[in-house]
A and B are shown apart, each in its own frame.
Chain A
């Protein structure tokens, strides 16, 4: 099980931050390697492709993303599932985003939990966990840039 928790302070109001997060395609677009984020059912279902590399190995997964929980304007949970058929890797993730006011303006807590099953496991849990942390860190940086504009 991969688990990453990050707290991110941004210079924006909780309302502005929530507005970005609730614009799910735009928010998902902040995930590095996540492209083609499109809406299937507004605020319910989305699709995106996540591509990440570890050295010479590339994971490219078409994801079905569902908003499983919403508590506007302070939090939401997304579930994402998909399979990279070339690698034989199955990805399932759950990401919870929680917004709260803070000294800088607002804070978002990102809690990601997930599994990558299949041959990619040969890389080792540690490598995949580290990669997930890098991705979430970059996601946070991009969120911040997007909302502080």
Chain B
């Protein structure tokens, strides 16, 4: 049983903001409810109102927009899994969405809710960093864009202002020829570790011209690993196979790991090293036109 609340169903951003500002910390945003209803049930949060944003038009759209993939905040994981625009421009996103939580959460839970709740154990937040994700925040005074890395400030904490709602997240699709991969590891409902890698290759070349490496779930927020990325620039595929361990060690050194029920900080750092190495080898194989078909326990490779 939940404590009573009033349910607002605004049909514009302005209406939503008006309620949020008036109610302050006594109101919470609500879309799929897969996070907020849980913390209400646990008694960790008390509200006088929920502000349901699902009736604001356009907030659930998934489409190509000015070269980016724009994912509306109230798009469900299930919609993300199936959207033609995702399959066309960022197919790995569909693959990762398919493995978020369980089928029921995917039916109802939204991308925006996932990002705005900022649970450290999030696949999408980790993956979207590797797409240079930018969130679009809407308020009565207009819209502003914020890199995802700045939007997610820490565990359960974002840069959303009181009069703003998360409207969309925009991803920069990887260029043609990019070898990308995502690995998630864990036995719990939420992932213990997530690693996204993208290896960009110049036209027809063997060399890695640019790289993206994002690690999430092990610390307060997901992060890109710029030194590990820089190390890979200029690598041939043979270099990558030979030096994957070294790149993985760099990633493990730089990752911000925090102990919790998923494991100690040392454990998470070691798993970062293990899985970054594994996923680099997968991406390298894909770049060479092969697939390794490796299987590891409690691991999903997309």
Contacts and interface: CB of A to CB of B under 8 A. Distances in A.
Do A and B come into direct contact in the complex, CB within 8 Å?
yes
Interface of A: 54-58, 86-88, 119-120, 122-127, 129-130
A126 B39 contact: no
A130 to B, nearest CB: 6
B9 interface: no
Interface residues of B, number: 23
Nearest to B220: A130
Given A86-B43, A87-B44, 7 more contacts: A55-B158, A56-B156, A57-B39, A57-B44, A126-B265, A127-B258, A129-B258
A130 B256 CA distance: 12
B220 A127 contact: yes
Contacts of A55: 117-118, 154-158
A88 B43 contact: yes
Interface string B141-161: 000000000000011111000
25 contacts: A54-B157, A55-B117, A55-B157, A56-B36, A56-B39, A56-B156, A57-B44, A87-B43, A119-B42, A119-B43, A120-B44, A122-B42, A124-B155, A124-B260, A124-B261, A125-B260, A126-B259, A126-B265, A127-B155, A127-B156, A127-B220, A129-B258, A130-B154, A130-B155, A130-B258
B164 to A, nearest CB: 15
Contacts of A88: 43
Contacts of B44: 57, 87, 119-120, 122-123
Contacts of B46: 86
B45 A57 contact: yes
B272 to A, nearest CB: 15
B25 interface: yes
A123 B42 contact: no
In the A-B complex, list the 7 residue pairs whose CB atoms are closest, starting with the nearest: A55-B156, A126-B258, A124-B260, A126-B260, A127-B155, A55-B157, A57-B44
B117 to A, nearest CB: 8
Contacts of A56: 28, 36, 39, 45, 156
Nearest to A127: B155
A134 to B, nearest CB: 9
Contacts of A129: 258
A129 B28 CA distance: 26
A129 B256 CA distance: 14
A54 B25 contact: no
A57 B43 CA distance: 10
Contacts of B259: 125-126
Centre residue among A86, A122, A124 by max chain B CB count within 10 A: A124
